[in-house]
Amino acid sequence: MKKLILGILIAASGTAFAQDKAKVKAAADTYKKDGKELLAMLNSGKVDEAKAEKLANSMIDQAVTAAKEYIAKDKKSEKLLNYIISSLGEVKSASFETLEKDWHDAGKLTKDKVGLDLKAEENEKYMDPVHSILHPAMTLRAIKDKKLKEAKDELTEGMEQMDLQAKFLTK
C-alpha cells in the first residue's frame, strides 16, 4: 500500500512539473509573439500607443506567469519576485529613469526588501525574471516618451531575458 501511494505521489508530481513546463513554454511563446508584433510596429515608425500598451501589458502578464513558475522551481527567488509582482502598479507608472535606476539596476531592490543581495554574482540569475517583467514596462514608457530607439533596445533585451528564463525553467 505504501508503495502504491508513493508511486501515485511521484507520478502526480512528475505530471505537475510537466504542466509547469508547458505553462512556461506557452507564456514564453506568447511573450515572444507579442514582442515581435511590438517590434514590427516600432520598426515601421507608426506606433499605435493603445495597441503598444496592450502588447506590453500582455508581455508583463506572461512574464508574471513565468516568474511564478520560477518561484516554484527556486524558492530563493520568492521574496524578490513576489515584491516585483506586488509592485506592478508602481512599476507601470514610473518614469523611464526611475524604472532604470530603482528597478532595472536594483536600486530599490535591497536585501532587506527582497531577501537577496542582487549585487552578488551568484544571485544575478534572479534578475532574468525581474527583467522579463521590467523591459516591457520600460519599452512602453520609452514609447510614451517618443524615444523609439530606446523602446526597441528595451524590448529586445526583454525578449532575450525571457529566453534565458524559459530555458532555465524548461530544462
- Which residues of the chain register pLDDT less than 70? 1-19
Predicted TM-score (pTM) of the model is: 0.88
- The confidence score (pLDDT) of residue 99 equals 97
Are 28 and 162 in contact by the 8 Å Cβ rule? The answer is yes
Which pLDDT score, from 0 to 100, does residue 20 have?
87
The residue extents of the domains of the chain are 24-170
The single-letter DSSP state of residue 100 is: I
Supply the pLDDT for residue 6.
41
Region of residue 45 (phi > 0: left; psi between -120 and 50: alpha; otherwise: beta): left
- pLDDT tens readout for residues 122-136: 999 999 999 999 999
Q: Round to the nearest angstrom and report the end-to-end CA distance of the chain.
A: 33
Q: Is-contact 104 131, C-beta < 8 A?
A: yes
- What's the mean per-residue pLDDT of the chain? 90
